[in-house]
A and B are shown apart, each in its own frame.
Chain A
Amino acid sequence: MQYNGFIFDYARCVGCHACVVACYNENGVQPPVLWRQVVGVNPEKVPLYGFVSLSMACNHCTDAPCLKACPASAYYRDQETGAILHSNKRCIGCKYCTWACPFDAPKYNPLRGVVEKCTMCNERLKSGEIPACTEACPTGALSFGSIETAASIQAPGISAKPFSPRIVTKNEDIVNHIPHIDEQVTGYSPLQHTGMKHFAPSKINPIHELPLAIFTLICSLMVGWVGSMPWVGIASRGITLFILLGIVGALLSTFHLGKPFRALRSVANVKSSWLSREILLFTLFFSLSALNLIFFNLIVLSVIAVILGLLLLVAVEMVYSVTDKKYKIHVHSANVVITALTIFSIFNSFERLLVLVLVLKAALYILRHANYSVSSLEFIFSFIRVFLGILIPLGSIFFSNQHISMLMILFILIGELIDRIEFYGEQQVDTPRLLANNFWDKSSV
């Protein structure tokens, strides 16, 4: 398709950062949240490989993932210029778009509590000018004009996800260019290289996402619980606890937002955002379950609640379909459906089922970890997760005649929470920096 978009020439970019300062001047953005960034492929200048720089902001994708993912409908497309714009008045600060975009275009500004991003200098475009970054490029590496976009592009540092980004690249092959070098002068040894690798920070920090880990665990817990009620019923004390859990879940997910008081906007995009759907389903599931428990106690409502709950769990899982995973096994041991099944078997005292899901979880956990090395701290948590959350409960089932005790339930929940936190640590979002840093790793595998 013919569009106006960015044209980037790897042979001419030397990483001078003029584009970044031009954006700063034009848009009044403030460090550390700048809209355009410059990254280097092979930043360590490993002698056997070429190096290039890449300047990138938003590519204003024809099939923009941010626009689809945003639960608050804060994104829209300018019909005249095609720019993907973001309204910070509508933004609820959920950061979900920053997970959906593989170009690191939406930037969360913690000071403002909202996301902001490149506008393609939309106002300049409308007055016949080109974006400030492209005007300022001293070498002609970054320019703007009519381009032929493709569904995806193959170029160093740029994600190949098929969002039809409005950017074309030139001279990507320059990354393979290596001058004749005296190898002994460079002091190169592969051994040293491993200790000096530049580090690209991960976009999703599991500690920051702790409220979400708890929220999703609560979802599993509540759905497992509600699923058990038609069989085992619920005590009045349980009703209070159930409602309390629901409220805690709702509060956690609300105050995790940069703009908690705009939380109602989070269901504005049920049409295309799994996050919107998740929140809507949570609200429906929780209110129906709670009302039923307090007032009606009808089986038919319980069944509807269970169906809503299962849909909620599907939505929870789908929310994370936008990210890449660091693990290769497709089913995570902290999968919310399996966790709900664990809870279900506990409430129903289905010990055999519980043994089955716990063994399944243990297998998934160990298989997932077989592939990557962990730090000693991570190892301690892994140990707690498996020993406390799986082995001890299994042992207690095998060696005791009694029903599973509250202590064992607590152990299981602690194990599940650790696993769920790990789950967030294992979500990966492509960024230009990550792809640039790892460019040669991938090609040498």
Chain B
Amino acid sequence: MKEFVTACPRNCYSTCSFIVQVEKDKVVGIKPLSANKATPTGVCLKGLSYVERANSPDRILYPYKKNGSGDFIRISWDEALSTIAGKLRYFKKTFGSQSVLFYAASGMSGLINEFSGRFWREIYGGVTTTYGNLCWPAGLEATRLTLGENKHNAPWDLENARLIVLWGKNPAESNIHEMIPLSTALDKGAKLAVVDPRRTSSSQRADLLVQPLPSTDAALALAVANILIKNSWIDEDFISSYVNGFEEFKAKAMSCTPEWASSICDISVESIEKLAWLIGNVKPMTIIPGYGMQRYTNGGQTIRAILALSVITGNIGKPGACWHYANLQSYVFDEVLEPICYYPPEEPDSTTRRSISTALLGEDMLSTTNPQLKMIWVERGNPLTQNPNTGSVLEAFRKLDFRVVVEQFFTDTALEADIVLPAKNMFEQSDIIGSYWNPYIQLKQKVVEPAGEVKPETEIYWLLAKQLGFNENTLKNILLPPGNDEVEKFLAQKLAKFPGLSLELLKMGPVVPPGHQEIAFSDFRFATPSGKIELLSEQVASLWNANPLPEFLPAMEISDANSTYPLLLLTPNTKNRIHSQFGNLKIIKFINGNPVVQMNPSDAMPRGIKNGSLVKVYNARGSIQVSAQPTYEVRKGCVVIYNGWWKSQGAALNTLSAGRETDMGHGAAFHNNRVEVNLVKK
């Protein structure tokens, strides 16, 4: 048995380092690697389930095509590639290259993914792509415009906090390793306040749980600011040295009384006052916002309002004090950092990108003309379950002439494909990954040969380009030639810019990148136009046509109190999946087999709904049937369905969500959803 150091490339905070055990070219075991100070105890249940995932009999190991009766039949690589190449030539000649949509999501991170873009741009001649992102850009943009950069203290610094505010984040499920320093801080006597419509596992040891209605967090934050300012529980020295626009912010906050927020958030004035007291009087404080709140149409401003609390109390740039949103300090290889890279191309032209909105994928695919979309290529993504408004995405998919999906498993999206190509897994090609939480650069090592006839995407593109008539000499300047040596050469080149970084070093474990600040902003330098923290940001106005001050704006759909759909739908992430990944595995199905809708007993009972009742959850966009689970975990007026279920697993949740963009950052505001729940069967 051999052991290798590797790292998990999923779209997840933790980005764990771990040791993978390999026997006879098979992944047989997974062990912790303590060298990563943020994830010293090893991976979560999903990471452990790689042993099953890598060897699953359900894995796609060969190219498949869909025959006339809708079944997938195995075909050779030759047939797959020549069919695709033929289609690509035809669409380009007949409609133009932009009739092809290249869609990639966050299924596997790594530097090597850049070759996909190169193929479509430089080999094929420019296709339609997507701008924006399903995840976090509203919050990233809000933070960037306020602090200048997205970075935070090293995860283990949380131990030094005396007050931790989990604001819409449930690390017990989404970032289990954060519970380590969090618990240590609590053991040392720190206070924990949780702001969340749910009573999550993370709130087990909380001193205060504030449960506002979803999308009203900005009102809560501004009311807390109001109390802080009125009581002078603010850090005036910090404000005068480092903050731009405090007076304007103060004037704004003065009108945001606790009574005003109490009616918007549907919580008591007392709990707002309790939260304000903690934030104003316990230092140092770390606010840990989650990514759910910024997926509303008012998401960016919500994040700016909450961030203002860290700012006016001086909880930035000190041990135990930070705005713990995203830590992009390990993203040293990116030429254009998030969230700027989510912007649509400034000047689209015939050879550059034409870009449609990720948040409105279905609608935009349907409405795009000149040329209309004829073909889609999907990799690292499952848009049929994960993008808003599944109905329109499905309609758009079916309207196309030709669909190629590169996948490891038959997801809802793969099932819609004309040709499915087998995708590599994380153990079959080396790559370098960063993390948006821990500070490390890590090597995800190739430890086994690709299973079956699996080829890494880089090789698929190489072969496809050859089919399109390119010779290898031209190609090797654009694409990555097949072979492990070429991968290592490419990665080594990337590392060469940074003295002290090398593949050899990364093979031993995670490495902190050059210039890493363990305490972010400890130099109090803020890369904003004013050089200060911008509570008042002219850029917010100029880029996003929004109020330069943080403000509460009622969220679309949610704020419609007279709606025929009285319940607010929350669609958080579960510990059991990363979005739509892992849920198909035997062990994960055992732990969490069927989708349920959680609802407050006071909402369930009048509807005759009991534990296990079959119910219909619906709105104007669609409906799904799941079983009900009445629980006080969710506050009244809200229902919860974890996201990531496949339709074939019982619930395509985004059937219920609307495609909308966030107020800033081109994020997907797919949390603005109201639903009604009816009893189908007791």
Contacts and interface: CB of A to CB of B under 8 A. Distances in A.
A326 interface: no
Interface stretch (A45-53, A209-217, A303-311, A360-368): A45-53
B557 interface: no
B632 A187 contact: yes
A135 B29 CA distance: 12
B210 interface: yes
Given A192-B601, A196-B631, A20 B636 contact: no
Interface string A45-65: 111001111000000000000
B180 A140 contact: yes
Interface in A20-46: 20-22, 24-26, 30-32, 34, 43-46
Contacts of B576: 17
B43 A52 contact: no
A32 B194 CA distance: 35
B35 to A, nearest CB: 16
A187 B575 contact: no
A182 interface: yes
- Interface residues on chain A, size class: 35 or more
B209 A179 contact: yes
Nearest to A44: B631
A369 interface: no
A187 B201 contact: no
Interface string B559-598: 0000000000000000110000000001101110000000
Contacts of A52: 204
B204 A135 contact: no
Contacts of A235: none
B268 interface: yes
Contacts of B186: 11
A186 B632 contact: yes
Contacts of A53: 201
Which of B43, B180, B183 lies at the interface centre, i.e. has the most chain A CB atoms within 10 A of its CB? B183
B590 A31 contact: yes
A177 interface: yes
A188 B632 contact: yes
B172 interface: yes
A14 B52 CA distance: 23
Interface in B238-294: 266-268, 270-271, 274
B201 A15 contact: yes
The winner among A20, A184, A185 for most chain B CB atoms within 10 A is: A185
B45 A139 contact: no
A57 to B, nearest CB: 15
A32 B210 CA distance: 38
B635 interface: yes
A47 B602 CA distance: 13
B51 interface: yes
Interface in A201-258: none
A26 B271 CA distance: 47
A136 B51 CA distance: 14
B194 A179 contact: yes
A26 B21 CA distance: 12
Contacts of B179: 12, 14, 138-139
Which interface residue of A20, A43, A139, A140 has the most chain B CB atoms within 10 A?
Answer: A139
Given A139-B41, A180-B207, A182-B210, 10 more contacts: A18-B42, A18-B43, A18-B48, A138-B41, A138-B43, A185-B211, A192-B604, A192-B630, A195-B611, A199-B611
Interface of A: 11-12, 14-18, 20-22, 24-26, 30-32, 34, 43-47, 50-53, 135-140, 174, 177, 179-182, 184-189, 192-193, 195-199
19 contacts: A11-B186, A12-B183, A15-B201, A16-B44, A16-B45, A21-B48, A21-B49, A21-B587, A24-B587, A34-B590, A135-B42, A136-B32, A136-B48, A138-B180, A139-B41, A186-B636, A187-B600, A196-B601, A196-B610
